[in-house]
Chains A and B, each alone.
Chain A
Amino acid sequence: MEKDIIIDLKNIDVSYGENKILDNISLYIRDKEFITLLGPSGCGKTTTLRVIAGFTQPDCGDVIFNGKKINDLPPYKRQVNTIFQKYALFPHLNVFENIAFGLRLKKKSDKEIKERVAEMLELVNLKGFSKRNIDSLSGGQQQRVAIARALANDPKVLLLDEPLAALDLKLRKDMQVELKNIQQKLGITFIFVTHDQEEALSMSDTVVVMDNGVIQQIGTPQDIYNEPKNAFVADFIGESNILDVVMKEDFRARFSGHTFQCLDKGFGTGEAVDVVIRPEDIVVTTPDKGMISGTVTSVTFKGVHYEIIVDIRGFKWMIQSIHEQQVGDEIGLVIEPDSIHIMKKSIYSGKFGDYSSFSDEIDHLSDIEEEE
């Protein structure tokens, strides 16, 4: 077993009544790592954090901290601190006393407490706020107080439950950078929860994709994006064209009326698989030069690129291209072997169709729903 593993979850199950919330979660977390639990809302991210913090007892499985089993250790004895989804600052205490809360419990001297709180306020850019009431702070400032309060205790591991979900976009981007800086400066482990894939990819060393209480994939952001394990991960992270395909033989997949060369190996002749092709990996040419061709059905300008939907034999592909196309145009597509990612069939196969019902509005609506 590796030495620098700080937390190790082994086969954790949690159920509430009939509902299995976490199903056989196994996950190890390295010291000083920025790890993100990513998944749609209700998939069990908060519950996983609560198991680590000690607020939820797993039905079975072990929680190992620094090589010791801590299943029965109560939250107040664990060397982890949490930043709660709604901050949970103490309304009857001012900023200073909120941050000093943990230190006072440890019976630190007044001088020590003063220094530590000042240090923390500086770290989160809230100098001069120590006498302020919690009610008088903006959401972003409350967020910083929550971070300072947790970090003042000098935890080995910081748990952050969707800490940025309530902030507006601009502030969220700033805080992403700031959190990452704090983590690197202090050199402690961050376990970060989010349902925002962009946030997960840009901040983390390791991403854990969850759905329905099951870990779907663990890997670096690049792994997760480039080598999704199944259709769920491919669909959840970024845009993707997911096709239902039968292998001609290893290294050769046939779809949309063309046999494509590919690099992923280990698939037998006639094996049914899912194929993922990212919209930005597809090259647009004229119909005669393309491997396959189809009709443009919609074009949306996105700033950096155009989002083009192409109908090829009834399947609607999404393509991202810097060249504009006109609706109704006939275009050809070229897909290089390294752009084709082949996945084994899973329970998610066939759940994610093409882009025929795609519209920005629907995407936007579901975003709002998730933030609730």
Chain B
Amino acid sequence: MSTKMNVSSKIYLGLVYFFLYAPIIVLIVFSFNESTSTSVMSGFSFKWYGELLRDADTINAVKNTLLIAVVSSVCATVLGTAAAVGIDKMRNKYLRSAIMNTTNIPMMNPEIVTGISLLLLFAFSSQLLGIKNALGLHTLIIAHITFVLPYVILSVLPKLHQMDHHLSEAAMDLGCTPVKSFFKVVLPSIMPGILTGFIMAFTLSLDDFVISYFVSGPEWQTLPIRLFSMTKKRVKPDMYALSTLIFFVMLVLLMLINFMQARGDKKKEKDK
């Protein structure tokens, strides 16, 4: 009886994973297809990957995406860490939970709403300042910082919470100014949280489409937007190649985040 259950549950699990991963497997397989056919594998080749590398627009989009991801995740990490420290220091419980909720809401907000509202804000404020063609790199970066910020705050806060609050006092006792004690003692203690937050921000910025679509303007294409514009033309396997690459980059980043969180948990257990 129990073995029967076991077999059926295994089959069920297999099915779940099959449906989850079948699209991606098909995508990967066809990205190595010789021909442009979406039904027949006519041979294995790196042709489409090569074509991708020769395509100036795509390379440009990769550059833009990386630039935006790096700048916005660095900014968001700095801002988010500072915000987390501030929130952690708050004594008033109600104010604190109010601020936490305000931080969390943008994460729950549908991306399209965030995108439209940012677009509106940029249009409104550029009109106010008398700037034409307001949309571009800077609006993309500002938008990305805005939507990744809560994730950084949320990954730094628990680390601050776990930290022995006497550590920074001990540092001051030994002669550190408050600022020095932050950099010498607090920062190293919460570093794992900061790094997790940074990679999370980087990942989210890298694969964002909806918000970027609204605030990018005509000149600045990110990779997801480029991909989307490719789908409007004839569907070619170079698109699959690009998607496959994005998938693997995301996979690596996600594994990195998981690895760091697992390491943090293990350390916590050891401390107990």
Contacts and interface: CB of A to CB of B under 8 A. Distances in A.
Given A86-B166, A135-B270, A81 B185 contact: no
A92 B189 contact: yes
B188 interface: yes
B171 A101 contact: yes
Interface string A50-88: 000101000000000000000000111000111011101
B164 A86 contact: yes
A65 B128 CA distance: 59
Contacts of A85: 166
A252 interface: no
A91 interface: yes
Contacts of B177: 74, 76
A81 B171 CA distance: 10
A47 to B, nearest CB: 13
A153 interface: yes
B188 A92 contact: yes
B55 interface: no
A60 to B, nearest CB: 21
Given A135-B270, A135-B271, A88 B169 contact: yes
B11 interface: no
Interface string A29-63: 00000000000000000000000010100000000
Interface string B164-197: 1011011111111100100001001100000000
B92 to A, nearest CB: 12
Given A90-B185, A91-B189, A92-B188, A84 B166 contact: yes
A102 interface: yes
Contact residue range for chain B?
A: 10 to 19
Most chain A C-beta atoms within 10 Å of own C-beta, residue among B166, B167, B175, B180: B175
Most chain B C-beta atoms within 10 Å of own C-beta, residue among A75, A92, A106: A75
B24 to A, nearest CB: 40
B172 A75 contact: yes
Given A84-B169, A91-B189, A149 B270 contact: no
A90 B175 contact: no
B185 A82 contact: no
A328 B132 CA distance: 104
A76 B176 contact: yes
A368 interface: no
A74 B188 CA distance: 23
Contact residue range for chain A?
A: 20 to 34
B266 to A, nearest CB: 12
A105 interface: yes
Given A84-B166, A88-B166, A135-B270, A149 B174 contact: yes
Most chain B C-beta atoms within 10 Å of own C-beta, residue among A76, A86, A149: A76
Given A90-B167, A92-B188, A81 B271 contact: no
Nearest to A53: B173
Given A86-B164, A90-B185, A76 B173 contact: yes
Contacts of A89: 170
Given A76-B177, A102-B175, A105-B176, A90 B169 contact: no
A286 to B, nearest CB: 59
A76 B188 contact: no
Contacts of B169: 55, 75, 82, 84, 88
A85 B169 CA distance: 12
9 contacts: A76-B176, A80-B173, A84-B169, A86-B166, A88-B170, A90-B185, A102-B174, A135-B270, A153-B174
Interface of A: 53, 55, 74-76, 80-82, 84-86, 88-92, 101-102, 105-106, 135, 149-150, 153
Which 4 A/B pairs are nearest by Cβ-Cβ distance?
A102-B174, A88-B166, A88-B170, A105-B175
Given A84-B166, A105-B175, 14 more contacts: A55-B169, A75-B173, A76-B173, A80-B173, A82-B173, A84-B170, A86-B166, A88-B164, A88-B166, A89-B170, A91-B189, A101-B171, A101-B174, A105-B176
